[in-house]
Structure 1
């Protein structure tokens, strides 16, 4: 399957990714589990409300939220965010469809909400569309799959081939500048399906995300959708993959690693609140 990469600065692409359990009263009823309990759909407005509450709880306790966050604070927040994203992806019946805009040429970022603490974005990927290798500055990056099948590949910086062909170098790249020569090497591949939740930060590595669905598999998904939902104006037709990403704090600049060279970009949005920009 071909990989699509588009250049530009604001093209809607990522030009480019528990020590103490939460109090029981902050867990929404829709996310309780048990042999005799069903889970009503968690709606996008409820998800946003619960995310705001989780972030406010850590801020009110005096913690700064970024990838250098206090470990105990991060563990609490991470547990809560993973729980909420998984719950939303597995119980929701599609209220995210209004944010899911696709583009034939490249994958796109559709903004759901941005505030001082985080941005929640629906990313849409047609088959073969893959991000370039990129970082996440000082932010946390959580993602879950809403539709389709996705693949995340993590990368680490390496020494130049002439010095050490397979040595993996650490560091978060904070001192790298556009134009610097940096070698990267794929170190981990994870296939993600609906409800799976992933996490990455610059302390863990760089990554790419992409949809590798074949045309035959996509045609099968579309036929299944037609059989299950009919052909009304509101019916959902799969076009590839859809992921929900949560970045905290919001990412203002990202670094791209391509052809052994670092560049820097401003992430753009293809739509905001379901409206094309």
Structure 2
């Protein structure tokens, strides 16, 4: 793995990072604009330590900042931990990795028995299918200092997995914030709305 100092020459504090995002709220938020900002303002793991919490049973979602346009969080992954296959509610998303590596598996919706619930205005899916086919498109490895994964309104279904041998800290920005998503259970052939929660807010755990 590349030396962290070489990979992240800008030692961006999380306060500076959030302040820069708030400045961007004055203009139209686009996938490319926020991706360019995050590439120019890398945040090292040391700057995220107040928002790093590990749990053996599941990955943790740790809220750093949220307003009407942006949601910023760390997600901490022990080796082997992964999300369900899920949507992003039609919202934009960006992920970089401050420590370790994760693999993003990308999927597309091929068919289901509730097609009327697809592509609803301002949301990607209502769920409710009991027969479905989700095609796997490929996988992207995102590691410390090596790029970024984005989600947009065209590519919105994915699964994130820590495929490395160490704990991983990823930094996520969403626009707009969302509190639920559609999860896909391919074994049970169903999709359903899943409520999302945080393990910590502002550096303080809120869950046991």
By the TM > 0.5 criterion, same fold? yes
For structure 1, which runs of at least 5 residues remain unmatched after alignment?
Answer: 1-37, 59-64, 66-73, 161-170, 219-239
**Paired positions, count:** 188
- Tell me which residue corresponds to 1:247: 174
Deviation at 1:102, TM superposition (A): 1.1
Indicate if the aligned counterparts of 1:151 and 1:210 stay in contact, CA closer than 8 A.
yes
Indicate if the aligned counterparts of 1:172 and 1:203 stay in contact, CA closer than 8 A.
no
CA distance in 2, matches of 1:255, 1:47: 29
- Tell me which residue corresponds to 1:212: 163
- List aligned pairs for 1:67-146, cutoff 5 A: 74=30, 78-89=31-42, 92=44, 94-146=46-98
Report SS of the residue matched to 1:199: strand
Report SS of the residue matched to 1:96: helix
After superposition, the Cα gap between the structure-2 partners of 1:57 and 1:103, relative to the gap in structure 1 and judged at 3 Å, is same
Deviation at 1:138, TM superposition (A): 2.5
CA distance in 2, matches of 1:84, 1:94: 20
CA distance in 2, matches of 1:116, 1:137: 15
Indicate if the aligned counterparts of 2:12 and 2:47 stay in contact, CA closer than 8 A.
no
After superposition, the Cα gap between the structure-2 partners of 1:39 and 1:127, relative to the gap in structure 1 and judged at 3 Å, is closer
Report SS of the residue matched to 1:268: coil
Higher helix share: 1
- Tell me which residue corresponds to 1:267: 196
**Residue 197 (1) aligns with residue 124 (2):** no
Higher strand share: 2
CA distance in 1, matches of 2:98, 2:44: 9
TM-score w.r.t. structure 1 length?
Answer: 0.63
TM-score w.r.t. structure 2 length?
Answer: 0.82
After superposition, the Cα gap between the structure-2 partners of 1:188 and 1:121, relative to the gap in structure 1 and judged at 3 Å, is same
Larger of the two Rg values belongs to structure: 1
Report SS of the residue matched to 1:83: helix
For structure 2, which runs of at least 5 residues remain unmatched after alignment?
Answer: 1-7, 113-117
Indicate if the aligned counterparts of 2:91 and 2:176 stay in contact, CA closer than 8 A.
yes
After superposition, the Cα gap between the structure-2 partners of 1:140 and 1:175, relative to the gap in structure 1 and judged at 3 Å, is closer
Indicate if the aligned counterparts of 1:135 and 1:201 stay in contact, CA closer than 8 A.
no
CA distance in 1, matches of 2:164, 2:143: 12
Report SS of the residue matched to 2:47: coil
Indicate if the aligned counterparts of 1:126 and 1:211 stay in contact, CA closer than 8 A.
yes
Indicate if the aligned counterparts of 1:43 and 1:88 stay in contact, CA closer than 8 A.
no
Deviation at 1:179, TM superposition (A): 4.4
Deviation at 1:101, TM superposition (A): 0.5
CA distance in 2, matches of 1:131, 1:93: 21
Q: For the aligned residues, what is the CA RMSD? A: 2.1
